[in-house]
Structure 1
Amino acid sequence: MPVRHIRHTLLALSLAVALLFLAPGSSPAHAPPLSNATLPLFTGEGKARTAALLSGGRFARTGTAIRRADRFRAGSVTKTLLATVVLQLAAAHRLSLSDPVERHLPGLIRGHGNDGRALTLRSLLTHTSGLRDFAADTRGRVPLTPRQAIRVALTHSPSPPGRFAYSNTNYVVLGMVIEEVTGHSYAEEAERRVIRPLRLTGTSFPGSRTTLPAPHGTSYTAGGREVTEVDPRVAGAAGELVSTLDDLNRFYAALLGGDLLPPAQLRAMLDTTATDGTYGMGIDAVTLPCGTTVWGHDGRITGSYVRVAATRDGHHVLTYRTDSDALVAPSTERALLTAEFCPNGSTP
């Protein structure tokens, strides 16, 4: 689930960071490591039990609560992978981003002013459809089938179409579109099109499985309650993914490097015109004080928070996670990204 409610102080938690630097000619010795001055930004004013760093293939940490190979729930980072599948299908002319939802899922979106005949796949990808976020009602705690999630959303009138309004419902609908177009579930298509080709061996769609694959650590709520076992159907196609630090780095590097989408579809994914520069299709854009824009996504689901940020060419990727759904303040996260991607300071 996305970052929407921010805690400005952190309870004790564990945190891991993955950093991939793939600039031409770079090597681990020349990769720009986070300095000792930067590490406190990860630790919630020193309260975290563990900090870990992967720089140019190296992994360093304090404490042992998080291991490099651990599987964890990636939450809404799932949306980038799902959008990649939809855009691959568009490139293959299996669907068009201008298709109304009604063309693929007739009669599904109706009621309280919601109308699938007026909503395009593009509007779902960019969160400009106006569909209500079902998770605003369930708070990410109730396992639902896709149709049940949509029924929850359709009990509400839509927000004004054309405006950016983040909604997990959009991606639940896209998961159903993928299945309708291909005859396979979104998980099967993502496995075939992305996970296997990139050899993302720690990445999976667990479906209704509540346990995490081994190896994994323990996850906690912001209040400290242990919640390692979670039914992924609380998020479904909007946030079901399980992954690792290395796999998320590899995925975003490949995506932004042009290995997964033709140029036209990658340009479409990174077009933020519809959202005033903040969100493309399954990927967000953050412009830092030095003028650098980083691309990626965050993900929050019970017991986990993840953030991925990368340069436009995919040569420099930072992934970090906590084993708690307690969150850093936006200002702290921004300071972290600035320290990493603006090595010469924050002035453009």
Structure 2
Amino acid sequence: MFHPTVRRRLALAAAAVVALTGLGAVPAGAQSADRVQKSLDALTDDGFPGALASVRDRDGRTRDYTAGVGDLKTGAAVPVDGQVRIASNTKMFTAVVVLQLVGEGRIELDAPIEKYVPKLVRGRGVDGRKITVRELLQHTSGLADYDDLLIKDYFAIQHTHYEPRDLLDAALTGKTAKGWSYSNTNYVLAGLIVQKVTGRPIGEEITRRVIKPLGLRKTYWPGVGEQRIRGPHPKGYFAAKPGDPYADVSVMDPSMAWAAGQLVGSPGDLNRFMLGLMDGRLLKPAQLKEMKKTVAAPDFDTAGGARYGLGLATFKLSCGGFAWSHGGSAPGYATSNGVTEDGRAATVAVTALPASMPALKRLEAALDTALCSAQAGRTR
């Protein structure tokens, strides 16, 4: 449930956070009998400074979890249901707004993006007259990912403000892709289309159309230049290369992610969002059906069996069935989340990027454990 950019960067950060002892982290607490708690404790044993989760069973009972520490310097506890940068989970919110506008007859899914942002997309092998809105949301547009082109030294750009056009201009210098290929550029363009059609900022539309109707009190779109997380939150950490100590990157400018990943939220709020989406509180049946039309996305999860719809992915559960998901990662935080058709929901967040493929697999496994533990009305 993590986009391929994470795995491309594992080689750069591998082993940087594998050994907690040398990085000043404290050991995880005593293991409990709770399977979900054990999975979070294992994540902090694995190298993540802190972990937090929220799990809802199909009968509506919710339980929150924490493990590790929320601040490596002070040893402060991880806040229960604390705020984190939810990164690429933002794509689900952006996709919902686009699909709401489709339902209102203001956007056509299969129209070329040229109709909404004329002459904006002209680059190496890409042409806005040949790319549809659906292809943006589905990651089949062929557009290069600007992340790969702009992030060479994260610390050099940590506090840099970017305009959406900066991101797009960088992407248009990259190589085009074939087939399904995850690209943050797609969702920057989706955000620009929303703004063109509504005449309002994408963050305002997400707030008005999604956050407020669902009562997501811990989720917000950061203002221009806003670098600090507003509410109680664990510190987020990043190590640029093997052997480097963790650096606190909680304070950063999120504009580089924009409509592809700028939101701040909490595990509990992500669960409420995904349940509201599946319950039909955000989209009309026709648009939710379109959102759920998937194509193979073999690079989206470590098992290689994920499928991707319009801002929404699906993966198989070890206990049977499947979950709808997305996930997100940014320097400092990674989230893995999912919701099932029978009303279970879970989000697991950690306070550093996975530093190895095994660590990434264990984070995905923690989500599977949470959703399977919530089966049949059990949260443990």
Q: Distance in 2 between matches of 1:113 and 1:49?
A: 43
- 1:246 maps to what in 2? 268
Cα distance, 1:69 vs structure 2: 4.5
Letter in 1 for 2:115: R
Which one of the candidate residues 112, 124, 145 is aligned to 2:124?
112
Kindly tell me the number of residue pairs found equivalent between the two proteins. Answer: 326
Indicate whether 1:59 and 2:64 are aligned: yes
Distance 1:54 1:274, change over 3 A: closer
Q: Distance in 1 between matches of 2:217 and 2:93?
A: 15
Indicate whether 1:331 and 2:347 are aligned: no
Distance 1:273 1:336, change over 3 A: same
Q: Distance in 2 between matches of 1:311 and 1:60?
A: 20
Q: Distance in 2 between matches of 1:119 and 1:278?
A: 21
Letter in 1 for 2:217: T
Q: Distance in 2 between matches of 1:196 and 1:343?
A: 30
Cα distance, 1:50 vs structure 2: 4.3
C-alpha deviations, 1:45-102, integer Å up to 9, x for none?
4x45545454433334455531124222111010001001101110111111011110
Indicate whether 1:318 and 2:346 are aligned: yes
1:195–1:203: 8 Å Cα contact kept in structure 2?
yes
Q: Distance in 2 between matches of 1:155 and 1:52?
A: 39
Letter in 1 for 2:64: F
SS of 1:267's equivalent in the other structure is: helix
Q: Distance in 1 between matches of 2:371 and 2:189?
A: 35
C-alpha deviations, 1:122-143, integer Å up to 9, x for none?
0000000000001111126454
Distance 1:145 1:60, change over 3 A: closer
Distance 1:219 1:335, change over 3 A: closer
- Unaligned ranges ≥5, structure 1: 15-32
Distance 1:273 1:326, change over 3 A: closer
Cα distance, 1:42 vs structure 2: 3.0
- 2:31 maps to what in 1? none
Distance 1:269 1:303, change over 3 A: same
C-alpha deviations, 1:160-202, integer Å up to 9, x for none?
3xx1000000000000000001111111111111111111111
TM-score normalised per structure 2: 0.78
- 1:43 maps to what in 2? 44
Q: Distance in 2 between matches of 1:73 and 1:234?
A: 13
Letter in 2 for 1:171: Y
Indicate whether 1:220 and 2:237 are aligned: yes
Q: Distance in 1 between matches of 2:106 and 2:98?
A: 9
Distance 1:65 1:264, change over 3 A: same
Which one of the candidate residues 257, 263, 279 is aligned to 1:257?
279
- 2:174 maps to what in 1? 156
Cα distance, 1:271 vs structure 2: 1.0
Letter in 2 for 1:301: A
Q: Distance in 2 between matches of 1:253 and 1:344?
A: 14
2:91–2:260: 8 Å Cα contact kept in structure 1?
yes
- Unaligned ranges ≥5, structure 2: 27-33, 56-60, 70-75, 240-244, 299-305, 376-380
Indicate whether 1:273 and 2:295 are aligned: yes
- 2:137 maps to what in 1? 125
Which one of the candidate residues 320, 337, 341 is aligned to 2:371?
341
Q: Distance in 2 between matches of 1:38 and 1:170?
A: 34
2:142–2:176: 8 Å Cα contact kept in structure 1?
yes
Identity of aligned pairs, percent?
Answer: 35
Indicate whether 1:76 and 2:93 are aligned: no
Structure with greater helix share of residues: 2
Distance 1:234 1:53, change over 3 A: closer
Letter in 1 for 2:225: S
1:292–1:342: 8 Å Cα contact kept in structure 2?
no
Cα distance, 1:343 vs structure 2: 5.0
- 2:302 maps to what in 1? none
Distance 1:11 1:113, change over 3 A: same
Q: Distance in 1 between matches of 2:114 and 2:121?
A: 8
Q: Distance in 2 between matches of 1:168 and 1:134?
A: 7
- 1:28 maps to what in 2? none
Letter in 1 for 2:63: R
2:344–2:374: 8 Å Cα contact kept in structure 1?
no
